[in-house]
C-alpha cells in the first residue's frame, strides 16, 4: 500500500488557480500564447508561491506573507481614464509620457513618441506578433525556474512594448507611468519589453501616479533587450507604497556586445517590495551598472535579489545597493555573479551597504560568486553598521544639532548613488525624495 502525498494549497494559491481558470480564455494571445500560458501556470502550480525553502526566496517567505490573492484588475472604463487625464497632464516630468493604467497601456493618455521609437500594447503583440517580439517577450530563458516569473507569464494581462530603432538617439527620457483606475485593491499582472537596436541610445524612467503600482498586489515584469553598442539608462522611483501592498518587479536584461547599461532605483514605502533582476552579458566588452537605495522605516520591507550572468569575455559589471533601516524595518539583499568558462577577463564587483539606525531593524545579506573561468577579477561584499559617532561629533562641534548632523550623514550616504546619474533633472528629483524622507525622520 502506498501513500499519496497531496500538497495543500494556501487560500491565496487556491484563489489564483480559480482566477486563472476563470480568465484564461479572455487573456490576449494566439493559440501558441495560450499554450505558453498553460505551461507556465502548470509550473507555478507545481512550485506554489515561493517560500523560505526556495533559496532565492529564503528571506522573503511569500507563501506565508501573501494570505489572500486579490481579484484581477478590470479593464479601465472610458470614464475612469478621463478622470486620470488631468492628473497625467499635471505631471512635470520631462520627456515622453507613456501611461499604463492597472498594467494596460493607454495610448490616449500618452504622448506621441519621438522619431525612432515605436510603441505597441502587449495585448496587440501577443495577438498579432511580430514573431521576433514574441521571442523577446519570453525573456529568452532569464528567470527560468522562478514561480513568480512563471505566474506573470501565465496571467499577463497587458503592458507596453517599446522598440528603439538601430542607431536612434532619443534625447529625452521615455517615462513609463503606472496609474490605477480601480477604487478597490486589485492584482495586476503586466509584462513589458524595451527592445533597443544596435548603436541606439535611450533613457527609460519608471514612476507611479497616485496609487498606481503602489497599492494592492503587483506582479510586473520589464524586459530589456539591448543590441550591440547601444546605450541605455534606466531609473525606477518606487516610493510611497501603501500598507498591505505587495509589489514584485522582475527585470530581465539581455546585453549585446559593447553595450553600456546603467540602472538606478529608489525604494521606500510601506508593504512588501521585491525587485529581482536577471541580467545576462551575451556580447563581449559590455558594461553594466546596477545601483539602488532603499530607505525604510516602520515595518517596511524591501528585498533586492540579483542574478548576473557573464557569458561573454571582457565584460564589466558593477552592482551597489544601499539601505537605511529605521525603527522595525527589514532589508534583504541577495546577489550572485556567475561567470561562465568562456567569460574570460570578466571584471565584476557586487556590494551591499546597510546603515542600521535602531536595534529593531534587520538586514539579510547574501552576496555570492560562482566562477568557472580562471582569468577574472571578481569581488563581492556586504557591510552593516551604524553611523559614525565621531563624524556626528565633528558636525555637532560645528554647530549642527544632533538630528541635523545625523540627517546630513544619511543624505550623503544615499545620495552618493544619485550623483552618478547622467540626467541631472532625474538626479534632482531623487535628491528631493531622499530629503523628504529624511525630513520626515527628523521631525518624528
Task: Return the HEC string of 382-397.
Answer: EEEECCCHHHHHHHHC
Rounded mean pLDDT of the chain?
Answer: 92
Residue with C-alpha cell 521615455?
A: 174
Output the nine-digit C-alpha cell for 294: 532603499
Residues 297, 444: Cα–Cα separation, whole Å: 11
Q: Are strands 117-121 and 260-269 parallel, antiparallel or unpaired?
A: unpaired
Whether residue 373 is predicted with pLDDT greater than 50 in this model: the reply is yes
Asked whether residue 366 carries a pLDDT value surpassing 50, the answer given is yes
89 vs 97, 99, 209, 358, CA distance in Å? 9, 11, 11, 41
Report whether the peptide linkage leading into residue 222 is cis, meaning its omega lies within 30 degrees of zero: no
- Which range has the top average pLDDT, 155-164, 205-214, 241-250? 155-164
In this prediction, residue 156 carries a pLDDT of 95
Among 70, 97, 104, 385, smallest CA distance to 244 is for 70
Using the 8-state DSSP alphabet, how is residue 189 labeled?
E
Q: Pick the more confident residue, 80 or 100.
A: 100
- pLDDT band of residue 444 (cuts 50, 70, 90) is very low
Q: What is the mean pLDDT of residues 63-92?
A: 89
Starting at the edge strand found earlier in the chain, the sheet holding 272-281 runs 117-121, 160-164, 187-196, 217-226, 246-255, 272-281, 301-310, 330-339, 362-371
- Tens digit of pLDDT for each residue in 107-142? 999 999 999 999 999 999 999 888 889 889 988 889
260-313 pLDDT, tens digit each: 999 999 999 878 999 999 999 999 999 999 999 999 999 999 999 999 999 999
Within 10 angstroms of residue 245's Cβ, the number of other Cβ atoms is: 20
pLDDT at 251 over 50: yes
Distance CA 378, CA 369 (A): 8
Confidence of residue 7 (pLDDT cuts 50, 70, 90): low
- Whether 330 shows a pLDDT value over 60: the answer reads yes
Maximum C-alpha span of the chain: 80
CA nearest neighbour of 195 among 123, 140, 264:
140
pLDDT tens profile 136-188: 998 888 999 999 999 999 999 999 999 999 999 999 999 999 998 887 889 99
Amino acid at each position: 500500500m502506498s501513500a499519496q502525498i497531496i500538497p495543500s494549497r494556501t487560500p491565496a494559491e487556491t484563489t489564483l488557480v480559480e482566477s486563472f481558470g476563470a480568465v484564461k480564455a479572455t487573456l490576449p494571445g494566439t493559440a501558441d500564447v495560450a499554450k505558453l500560458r498553460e505551461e507556465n501556470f502548470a509550473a507555478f502550480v507545481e512550485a506554489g508561491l515561493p517560500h523560505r525553502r526556495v533559496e532565492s526566496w529564503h528571506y522573503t517567505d511569500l507563501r506565508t506573507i501573501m494570505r489572500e490573492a486579490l481579484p484581477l484588475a478590470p479593464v479601465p472604463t472610458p470614464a475612469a481614464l478621463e478622470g486620470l487625464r488631468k492628473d497625467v497632464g499635471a505631471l512635470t516630468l520631462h520627456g515622453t509620457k507613456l501611461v499604463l493604467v492597472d498594467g494596460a497601456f493607454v495610448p490616449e493618455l500618452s504622448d506621441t513618441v519621438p522619431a525612432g521609437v515605436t510603441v505597441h500594447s502587449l495585448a496587440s503583440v501577443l495577438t498579432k506578433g511580430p514573431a521576433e517580439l514574441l521571442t523577446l517577450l519570453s525573456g529568452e530563458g532569464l528567470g527560468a525556474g522562478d514561480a513568480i516569473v512563471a505566474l506573470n507569464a501565465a496571467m499577463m494581462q497587458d503592458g507596453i512594448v517599446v522598440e528603439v530603432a538601430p542607431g536612434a538617439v532619443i534625447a529625452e527620457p521615455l517615462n513609463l507611468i503606472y496609474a490605477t483606475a480601480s477604487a478597490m485593491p486589485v492584482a495586476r499582472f503586466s509584462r513589458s519589453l524595451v527592445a533597443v537596436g544596435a548603436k541606439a541610445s535611450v533613457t527609460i524612467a519608471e514612476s507611479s501616479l497616485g496609487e498606481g503600482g503602489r497599492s494592492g498586489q503587483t506582479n510586473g515584469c520589464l524586459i530589456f533587450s539591448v543590441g550591440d553598442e547601444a546605450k541605455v539608462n534606466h531609473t525606477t522611483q518606487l516610493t510611497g507604497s501603501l500598507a498591505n501592498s505587495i509589489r514584485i518587479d522582475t527585470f530581465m536584461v539581455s546585453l549585446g556586445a559593447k553595450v553600456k547599461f546603467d540602472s538606478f532605483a529608489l525604494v521606500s514605502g510601506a508593504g512588501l517590495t521585491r525587485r529581482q533582476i536577471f541580467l545576462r552579458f551575451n556580447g563581449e566588452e559590455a558594461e553594466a551598472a546596477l545601483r539602488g537605495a532603499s530607505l525604510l522605516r516602520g515595518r517596511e520591507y524591501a528585498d533586492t535579489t540579483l542574478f548576473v550572468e557573464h557569458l561573454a569575455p571582457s565584460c564589466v559589471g558593477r552592482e551597489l545597493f544601499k539601505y537605511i533601516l529605521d525603527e522595525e524595518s527589514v532589508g534583504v539583499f541577495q546577489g550572485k555573479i556567475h561567470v561562465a568558462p568562456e567569460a574570460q577577463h570578466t571584471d565584476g564587483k557586487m556590494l551591499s551597504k546597510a546603515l542600521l539606525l535602531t536595534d529593531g531593524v534587520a538586514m539579510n545579506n547574501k552576496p555570492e560568486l560562482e566562477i568557472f573561468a580562471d582569468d577574472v577579477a571578481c569581488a563581492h561584499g556586504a557591510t552593516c553598521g551604524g553611523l559614525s559617532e565621531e563624524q556626528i561629533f565633528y558636525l555637532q562641534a560645528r554647530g549642527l544639532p544632533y538630528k541635523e548632523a545625523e540627517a546630513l550623514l544619511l543624505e550623503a550616504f544615499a545620495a552618493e548613488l544619485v550623483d552618478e546619474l547622467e540626467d541631472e533633472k532625474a538626479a534632482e528629483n531623487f535628491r528631493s525624495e531622499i530629503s523628504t524622507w529624511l525630513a520626515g525622520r527628523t521631525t518624528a
